[in-house]
Amino acid sequence: MVRARVNVFLKKDVMDPQGNAVSSALKQLGHSDVHQVRVGRSFDLILDGNDGEAARDDIKKMCESLLANTVIESYEIQIQPQEPGKC
């Protein structure tokens, strides 16, 4: 089994109104050191097989076709190390 996490965020040049709202709320709660917030989403995937590079290629296809709107979003794929004895 291969475990992976995909993080999807709006591209830097795309306005993030949800991030702005969170940033504003944090400042109102006294967290004045917050400069900027970007809101995104993450997907945790478990794939059959043990080949991390093949899994990365497969996940990239998933991102390009469904998980991310690549016109306005970017994504990051993290293959997570397997713990011995865990599936």
**Cα 84 from chain centroid (whole Å):** 25
pLDDT of the residue at 79: 95
pLDDT of the residue at 84: 57
pLDDT of the residue at 8: 98
Are 7 and 42 in contact by the 8 Å Cβ rule? The answer is yes
Query: Along the 87 residues of the chain, how does pLDDT read in single tens digits?
Result: 999 999 999 999 999 999 999 999 999 999 999 999 999 999 999 999 999 899 999 999 999 999 999 999 999 999 987 765 655
* Integer Cα distance of 31 and 22 in angstroms: 11
**Phi/psi of residue 13, each to 5°?**
-85, 5
**2-80 has CATH 3.30.1280.10 classification:** yes
Residue-range domain boundaries for the chain: 2-80
* Integer Cα distance of 54 and 52 in angstroms: 6
pLDDT of the residue at 42: 98
